[in-house]
């Protein structure tokens, strides 16, 4: 799943109205951040992905307190999105990890 697909899913769920709102509310970045990523065809930073993970967890937690099948389904969708974001974080961290890491024995 891509960041674009996550954005569209949140938009379909009525949790996000615009790319600007997605950038600020979900990625914790400036309002133009997501648009710049799209134009330059870049991946989001690990920081932005961690903030997205946190935002999704907060929303899922709020929905878990509500009763009803619709709330449960929305919560499950958010948790599914969260799992995809965690995979994206792992991949992003692998890309930025140093080639070789040496540890000193103490």
Give me the pLDDT at residue 78, please: 96
Give me the pLDDT at residue 103, please: 61
Segments in the chain below pLDDT 70: 97-106
The reported pTM is 0.86
Going by the DSSP 8-state scheme, the letter that residue 16 receives in this structure is -
Q: Buried b vs exposed e over 50-84: b needs ≥16 C-beta within 10 Å?
A: bbbbebbeebbeebeeeeeeeeeebbebbeebbeb
Give me the pLDDT at residue 95, please: 81
Give me the pLDDT at residue 46, please: 92
Q: Where are the domains of the chain?
A: 3-93
Give me the pLDDT at residue 54, please: 97
Give me the pLDDT at residue 74, please: 93
Instruction: State pLDDT tens for residues 24-48.
Output: 999 999 999 999 999 999 999 999 9
């Amino acid at each position: 799943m891509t960041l674009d697909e996550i954005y569209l899913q949140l938009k379909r769920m009525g949790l996000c109205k615009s790319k600007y709102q997605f950038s600020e509310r979900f990625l914790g970045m400036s309002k133009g951040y997501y648009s710049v990523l799209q134009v330059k065809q870049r991946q989001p930073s690990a920081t932005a992905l961690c903030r997205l993970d946190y935002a999704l967890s907060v929303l899922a937690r709020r929905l878990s307190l509500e009763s009803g099948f619709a709330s449960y389904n929305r919560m499950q969708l958010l948790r599914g999105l969260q799992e995809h974001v965690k995979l994206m974080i792992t991949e992003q961290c692998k890309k930025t990890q140093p080639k070789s890491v040496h540890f000193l024995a103490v």
